[in-house]
Structure 1
Amino acid sequence: MLRKFLNIQYPIFLAPMAGVSTPKLAAEVSNSGGLGSLGLGSCNHEEAKKQIEQLKQLTSLPFQVNFFCHQPEKSDATLENQWVQYCCSKFGRIDLMNNFSQAFSCLYSSFLENDNFLDLIIQEKVPAISFHFGIPSKSQIHRLKQANIVTMASATNLIEASYIARSGIDIIIAQGIEAGGHRGVFNPNIDSAISTLELVFLIKNNLSIPVVAAGGIMDAQDIHDCLRVGANGVQLGTAFVQCSSSKASETYRQSLFNSKVTQITATISGRPARGLVNDWHLKIDSPDRPLTPPYPYTYYFAKKIYEYTRQPQYAAFWAGSKVSKIKKMEAPDLMKSFIENVDF
């Protein structure tokens, strides 16, 4: 059903990893029979346009792009000053405080805030689009449907899935608690923490809409398990981060093989996200932690800390819970290993 709907050979999606996905990696997955993707939530209009155009030069097959649909927040100077003092103290790096005398910047705009990205997607005739942290407005969804663009959105529980289904969006990405990177929760204060397999089963037994499983999927056996409980397809991210065609740094890639444990924290970005355990988890997530500034202002601070220090204990190396199963393989070889060992 999903393969025919999206015109792909195999229901294997590349997760749209903002900051890590590249046109080359997306093309490798699409050209291997899956659905490549570009995570464009961290891009401005011109950057997004450039990546889409580059991808089109590398493949004539379907692909998806992804944007954030978080509710826009305002900067809070009081929270920001408190956060700087707390984190620098816990890190034992009071020397860094002088670098944060001005307000935090809003790194990422929401798809909800303006229609510039929407216009771009329609003009470029992008085959499919997905959303994280929520769903677009009714008028935005209507325009996407009019343009015959396949729409998808992440759900972390049944209520979010129901919102997606009622909105007219075509496909639900069922993101389990095992997933690396940011949780797709609509409200960052509410997380049902459901496993991928349980979430897929729950949605399939309550809603009649295609469901793609995401979270903790690293190999053919994981894919088989998801299909067994009713998933129409699967989405993988961490398994592809190590590919040379991703934008991950060499330090990031090597850390995936050296680290065996991940943990969820909201201290890096202001929203819960799963990554390799480092000083953010071990020093900042203590019981006396104050409120974080709203997303994405907190993320600005974390990125600046890493920019100043270039030390991996301050980095955001997002990864799923089964990172210990990661294999050093290029994207076409990974796709081949899935296709040859799963009965789709």
Structure 2
Amino acid sequence: MEYPIIQAPMAGGASTPMLAATVCNAGGIGFLAAGYKTSDEMRSEIEETQRLTDRPFGVNVFVPSKEVVDEAILSAYREKIQKEAESVGVSVGQAIIDDDDWGSKITTLKELSVAIVSFTFGCPESRIIKELQDAGSLVAISVTNLDEARIAVTAGADILCAQGIEAGGHRASFENQTEGDQGLLELVGMIKKELNVPMIAAGGLMDGKDITAVLAAGAVAAQLGTAFLRCPESGASPAHKAALYDPRFTKTAITRAFSGRRARGLVNRFLAEYDKDAPRAYPYVHHMTKQMRKVAGQKEQPELMALWAGQGYRRSRELPASQLMGKLLEEMRSE
């Protein structure tokens, strides 16, 4: 890449081929998010991105969950949130587990040989990493602590993506539990001290000053997600974009309320009311609340949406992605 700026993969629709390609054409690296999509949908987005740019880009994949959850716990949560779903004219979804079309996605990625394949929620077995590398892809693993970083390097990862506690959206942790949360600069420093592997830094980064800080700490690139949410190329809903500058949303918090997995978002009514009741149950809870969140977005009711955002969300800017890239570079040069 020309510049050490990466547009984060944001599952759920925010990451689009146009956003990824625009960032690539501006000298950074854009990412597509394969999470919650079928293999065919992922392939379609990859091919569209290839039509929009001849520069390298990445694709992020969720490692499947193997959680076993007590049905009684899920039923209890269903009863609590049913009235919220009904308020927008839907029912709570079935509490199911799936592999997010894992096998087909890996096969497709080996065939298409994208520049970077990154993984979240775990580390694939070494065989899969080697097969992707042999197909021409660099493999990046998202990590949230030093133990995960060690596992990823041992498995053969080319790159680590260190995710600090400041990050918006889901925690990338290998296990669905409360890890020892660490700030981004601390995490980058710990990994840099022990492991000799290129590292991307992610977590609440919003401007050129933030990028310069993580590069100085030892990262080779900075990954920004929330910073790109308000770009017109972003697929985030209008309600989500508006919430980032709505004065009623004054802080972020980490919650399991929307998906059963820890994730940082703007504190709205649903998060505040159901955070303590939400079970550790991913992707079961994700499927339970999915339709409610979708329809709430369509009806512009942000109090029932998962408004994923990093801690620096107040510094987000409503700019075309190419202009935002230009601003970030100007800010970096002025440091």
The amino acid that maps onto 2:175 is N
- 1:302, CA displacement in angstroms? 1.6
Give the equivalent residue in structure 2 for 1:247.
235
The counterpart of 1:295, out of the listed 273, 277, 282, is 282
Report matched runs for 1:152-191 at 5 Å.
152-191=140-179
Q: Distance in 1 between matches of 2:295 and 2:52?
A: 35
Aligned match of 2:8 = 15
Superposition CA RMSD, Å: 2.1
The equivalent of 2:51 in structure 1 is: 57
Identify if the C-alpha distance between structure 1 residues 244 and 78 changes in structure 2 by more than 3 Å, giving closer, same or farther: same
Stretches of 4+ aligned residues off by more than 4 angstroms: 93-98
Measure the CA separation in 2 of the matches of 1:110 and 1:165. Answer: 25
Task: State the 1:74 CA deviation.
Answer: 5.2
Q: Which residue of 2 aligns with 1:103?
A: 94
Query: Could you tell me how far apart the structure 2 residues matched to 1:110 and 1:296 are?
Result: 13
User: How many Å apart are 1:94 and its aligned residue?
Assistant: 7.4
* Residues 314-329 of structure 1 aligned to structure 2 (within 5 Å): 314-329=304-319
CA drift at 1:216: 1.0
- Residues 64-112 of structure 1 show CA distances to partners (whole Å, capped at 9, x for unaligned) of 00000133345754232111112347x5x77789934x7324466263x
Aligned mates of 1:110, 1:49 — CA distance in 2: 12
Tell me the matched-pair count: 328
**Unaligned segments of structure 1, at least 5 residues:** 1-7
- Partner of 1:9, secondary structure, is coil
Alpha-carbon distance in structure 1 between the residues aligned to 2:330 and 2:90: 55
Residue identity in the other structure for 2:229: V
1:308 deviates by: 5.2
Q: 1:96 to 1:260 in 2, by over 3 A?
A: closer
For 1:270 and 1:109, locate their aligned partners in 2 and report how far apart those are by CA, in whole Å: 16
Distance in structure 1 (CA, Å) of the matches to 2:293 and 2:8: 24
Alignment match of 2:18 (pick from 3, 19, 24): 24
The answer as to whether partners of 2:140 and 2:158 remain within 8 angstroms in 1 is yes
Instruction: Determine whether 1:124 maps to 2:115.
Output: no
The farther-off stretch of 157-166 and 118-127 is 118-127
Deviations 1:2-42 (A, max 9, x none): xxxxxx10111110011210000000000000011100111
Percent of counterpart pairs with the same letter? 36
Q: Name 1:71's counterpart in structure 2.
A: 65
Given residue 279 of structure 1, which amino acid in structure 2 is its aligned partner?
R
How far has the Cα of 1:226 moved from its partner? Answer: 0.8
TM (norm. structure 2) is 0.92
Distance in 2, Cα, partners of 1:128 & 1:216: 22
Alignment of 1:301-316 (within 5 A): 301-307=288-294, 309=296, 310=299, 311-316=301-306
CA distance in 1, matches of 2:10, 2:140: 15
**Structure 1 range deviating more: 214-223 or 226-235:** 226-235
How far did 1:148 drift? 2.3
Identify unmatched segments of 5+ residues in structure 2: none
The reply to whether residue 35 of structure 1 matches residue 29 of structure 2 is yes
